[in-house]
Structure 1
Amino acid sequence: MFAVVKIAGQQFKVEAGQSLYVPHLQGKSGDKVEFSDVLLVNGDGNFSAGADVKATVKAEIVSDLIKGDKVIAFKMKRRKGFRKKHGHRTFYTRIKIESIA
């Protein structure tokens, strides 16, 4: 059984027992979270999508704050002396899916 869930504006395909990294969620390690914005559910070969979905996904926060890889945005215009360097690291939260109900 799997489901497609919308978390923080991104879609994730999840299964029970799976752990994944999602954009940063409020909460501490060990907190339980529930996602009600389920887009598709596959259970026993039966698909339900759209308004027919009446499922919620329950998960537990494993690690609350994880830094992603550094991303560098470098802009340069040749022969002009213009150089601009910006960088950032995105924060993620690691969750473990407990059940799809």
Structure 2
Amino acid sequence: MYVIVKTGGKQYRVQENDTLLIDKINAEPGKTVNLADVLFVEQNGEVFVKDSVKDAVVKAKVIEQVRGKKVLVFKYQKRKRHRKLTGHRQDYTKIQIESIIIKGKKTVSDSAKASPDKQAKEAAKAAKKETKPKAKAVPKKAKPAAKANNKKSDSGRKSSS
């Protein structure tokens, strides 16, 4: 199951327990934030969009406030002796997706749905499958070596006879 959520003018594809950097949100580390602008939900092959996901909420925990890499901006005007170097560092919030709630129901992730019994049965089936041994490869016969031409080639000169 995954969700596309919009925050800070950007869209992110998220699942439970994902960690991502989004544009800065005014929240302290350790606090929980709700991302309510859900655009798309895919659950067990079913797709929900627009009105069917208007009540969906993504709960995320703020891990830390960080700053991005410095972006250098160099302004230059030829023949004017004008050069200006400035930099910019974007502020980001690092969050971890805790849960996805649709219409008041907390969704269970796909991995949690599969019970350990089913997983054990699938592993046993995979182990039972027998692989057929491949037929022994017959080595190819070597081709006879090509005869070497010992004649010198004419280097493109015309003879003077």
Q: Does TM, scored on the shorter chain, surpass 0.5?
A: yes
Q: Which deviates more, 48-57 or 2-11?
A: 48-57
Q: What is residue 76 of structure 1 aligned with on the other side?
A: 76
Q: What is residue 57 of structure 1 aligned with on the other side?
A: 58
Q: What is residue 33 of structure 2 aligned with on the other side?
A: 33
TM-score when normalising by structure 1: 0.93
1:24-81: CA deviations, max 9, x gaps?
Answer: 1111111000011000000111111122213110010011x20100011111122221
Question: Quick check: which has more Rg, 1 or 2?
Answer: 2
Q: What is residue 5 of structure 2 aligned with on the other side?
A: 5
Q: What is residue 88 of structure 2 aligned with on the other side?
A: 88
Unpaired segments ≥5 residues, structure 1: none
- Taking the aligned partners of 1:58 and 1:81, their CA distance within structure 2 comes to 53
Runs of 4+ in 1 over 2 A off after TM superposition: none
Overall identity of the aligned pairs, in %: 38
Q: What is residue 99 of structure 1 aligned with on the other side?
A: 99
Relative to its length, the structure with more helix (as a share) is: 2
Higher relative CO (CA 8 A, sep ≥ 6), structure 1 or 2? 1
- Taking the aligned partners of 1:73 and 1:49, their CA distance within structure 2 comes to 40
The Cα RMSD (Å) is: 0.9
